[in-house]
Amino acid sequence: MLPSEARVPVEITDTKTRDHGDFACNFALTATKKAGIPPRQIGVMLKQVLESSSGEASSPIATVEIAGPGFLNIHLKPEAVAAYVDTVLDMGNSLANLAAQSFEGQKLPKLNVEFVSVNPNGPITVGSARGAVFGDVLCRVFAAAGYPVDREYYINDGVNSKQMRLFAESVQSYALGLPLPENGYQGDYVKDVAEEVSRLFGRDASRKEPVGWWQERSQELMLERQRQDLATFEVGFDRWFSEQSMHESGLVTDSLEKLKANGSADSECYRTEVVREGKEATLEQKPEECGPLWLRATKFGDDKDRVLLRSDGRPAYIAGDVAYMESKLGQRGYEKAIIILGPDHHGYIPRMNAVCQALGYPQERFEIIIFQIVRFVKDGKPAPMRKRDGNIYELRDLIDEIGANSSPTADKAEQQRIGKDVSRFFYLMRSHETHMDFDIDLATKQNDENPVFYVQYAHARICSVIAKAESAGFVRDDNNPTDAALLTHETELALIMKILDLPIEVARCAKDYGVHRLTTYAIELARTYHHFYDACRVVQPEEPALTLARLNLCHAARTGLRAVFTLLGVSAPERMDRETAS
């Protein structure tokens, strides 16, 4: 027995090759220091314990080997692996939810995840789309892992917004044929909104309305455009939260009063900044005209204090952020709030961390996740995603381009499905923490070079095999169990093990937000099925028992693919035509 001091986390990993077993364990190496025992000696002790149980009928372990200084390579009994086919079939669409077992015994916090939140003066662009699909899939992962989670879109619709007023003036100018205001908004989407306002309300009637009227209508139409594009992209929200609603309800005023009451905000005639000289940093108070209400953010790690209310009493933008934080963590009782932002928002992190703490909430109840930029590539070269007239390139443009180029003869709905599937998958193939290249040429190919086609074709192939089996009289029947122990071929066992990896990958994603693992998993599962398909003929009339066992395995593989497709938000076509790879 090892001393109690030697208790360290046990890590079980896949082996690099099946020759080394099904799983590897490095416990002997991690426990050696605390145990004061050489790692190989610990490995021998563990090997003896595991092998002593391997003779029991309930044990899945066949043999245990010691490698190197104390690594354990564990081989499972083939029949134990094969028995899990029925488990997968029983779980069905809930297969990914097995990830919740990794969090048993833990109280999972109620989450509020805010993402996208594009100002209602512009469309969803190809840059914002990366954050949209990342946030959407992360919420799906949280839900599968057992977290209570709400998705939220924050509408920056404060009536005092200079941006929204300028947008309204720009729409008004287009609608009435007037010169654009200085630094006015340009682009097809502005013209679209102007035309829609004129169509709905009449140009002559609109001519008489003040800018505030135009701002309200323009915002409504722009938000509807955003909703439609996100729906096409299969991104939805539980709540669209209005900034203006907090001003109207008095929450902004109440939140600022809370800061004043706890000493985090005041109107003293100074402001504090961090002054750096080389590696040294000091806080300096600098004279300031009396009047503004300051958030003393430097007390909480920010690099400068922030104005909450200007001298004339108008709230600064951060006043809305304060109220929004109070709404989430205080008024609505979320136990953790997560915001997903683009790469130009790094400076937002210390500011919002300061807001969280100033309101009296522990820092661990709030987190900002930053996703990095996307570079689009065509013909092997960077391709700035702008339309010919210089307008911004919208998410709807990307979906339409990929769909039309991938399947020119398909109808609009099918083209949008293809464009949506490919766009989502490609955005998710790299970690959100790294820059990524989006290869437009590869995205439109309908062969195995395109990873989206590759994984969807595996699903279509499974459907074809199942249909062929049914036409030969072999139909899966839950009331007549098959003999899973017949599945002994190495490709059969490898496929079962890969299917079972999904809940493990989901649990990992929920812990570190690395949802890009799911695209890697989908590709690996598809590849493993193709290997099985090439090595093992499924329909064999002369071997009915084996045929039914392999048919069940095909159903299990389809279950695994559909489960990961659901998490990724891509479709599972049952028929696909493959073009010749170039």
Q: How many Å separate Cα 200 from the centre of its chain? A: 37
Tens digits of residue pLDDT in 112-129: 999 999 999 999 999 999
Interacting residues of 508 by C-beta distance below 8 A, sequence separation 6+: 514, 517
DSSP string covering 45-85: HHHHHHHHHHTSTT--EEEEEEETTTEEEEEEPHHHHHTHH
Predicted confidence at residue 581, as pLDDT, reads: 46
Classify residue 6 by burial, with Cβ atoms within 10 Å: 0-12, 13-18, 19+. Answer: middle
| Range with the poorest average pLDDT among 158-162, 420-424, 474-478, 488-492 | 158-162
Q: In this structure, how many other beta carbons lie within 10 angstroms of the beta carbon of residue 119?
A: 16
Q: Determine the residue type at 67.
A: A
For residue 568, is pLDDT > 80? yes
Q: Note the CATH number of domain 238-370.
A: 3.40.50.620
Predicted confidence at residue 116, as pLDDT, reads: 98
Asked if 43 and 71 count as a contact pair (C-beta separation under 8 A), the reply is yes
Q: How far apart are CA 194 and CA 221, in angstroms?
A: 9
DSSP string covering 377-395: EETTEE---B-TTSPBPBH
Tens digits of residue pLDDT in 345-375: 999 999 999 999 999 999 999 999 999 999 9
Give the chain's length. 582
Tens digits of residue pLDDT in 221-259: 999 999 999 999 999 999 999 999 999 999 999 999 999
Q: How far apart are CA 536 and CA 539, in angstroms?
A: 9
Average of per-residue pLDDT across 490-494: 96
* Pairing of β 71-76 and β 23-25: antiparallel
Beta bridge partners of 273: 284, 304
Confirm whether 4-76 and 238-370 share one CATH topology: no
Asked if 136 and 240 count as a contact pair (C-beta separation under 8 A), the reply is no
On average, the pLDDT of the chain sits at: 91
For residue 498, is pLDDT > 90? yes
Give me the architecture of the 82-106+447-568 domain, per CATH. Orthogonal Bundle (1.10)
Q: In this structure, how many other beta carbons lie within 10 angstroms of the beta carbon of residue 98?
A: 20
**Extended strands (E) in 205-288:** 239-242, 265-266, 270-277, 280-287
For residue 502, is pLDDT > 90? yes
Q: Determine the residue type at 395.
A: L
Predicted confidence at residue 526, as pLDDT, reads: 98
Tens digits of residue pLDDT in 539-548: 999 999 999 9
4-76 CATH fold: Gyrase A; domain 2 (3.30.1360)
Tens digits of residue pLDDT in 382-434: 887 765 455 788 999 999 999 999 999 999 999 999 999 999 999 999 999 99
Secondary structure (3-state) at 367: strand
Average of per-residue pLDDT across 471-499: 92
Q: How far apart are CA 415 and CA 419, in angstroms?
A: 6
Predicted confidence at residue 100, as pLDDT, reads: 95
Predicted confidence at residue 204, as pLDDT, reads: 72
Average of per-residue pLDDT across 22-48: 83
Predicted confidence at residue 582, as pLDDT, reads: 45
Q: In this structure, how many other beta carbons lie within 10 angstroms of the beta carbon of residue 227?
A: 16
Give me the architecture of the 108-237+372-443 domain, per CATH. 3-Layer(aba) Sandwich (3.40)
Backbone phi, psi, residue 496, to 5°: -60, -45
Predicted confidence at residue 69, as pLDDT, reads: 84
Tens digits of residue pLDDT in 40-55: 888 888 888 887 766 6
Tens digits of residue pLDDT in 388-397: 455 788 999 9
Predicted confidence at residue 243, as pLDDT, reads: 95
Q: Please, how many CA atoms are within 13 Å of residue 550, restricted to the half-sphere of its CB? A: 25
End-to-end CA distance of the chain: 61
Predicted confidence at residue 299, as pLDDT, reads: 96
Predicted confidence at residue 528, as pLDDT, reads: 98
Percent with pLDDT over 90 in the chain: 69
Asked if 67 and 73 count as a contact pair (C-beta separation under 8 A), the reply is yes
Domain boundaries, the chain: 4-76, 82-106+447-568, 108-237+372-443, 238-370
Backbone phi, psi, residue 135, to 5°: -65, -40
Asked if 438 and 451 count as a contact pair (C-beta separation under 8 A), the reply is no
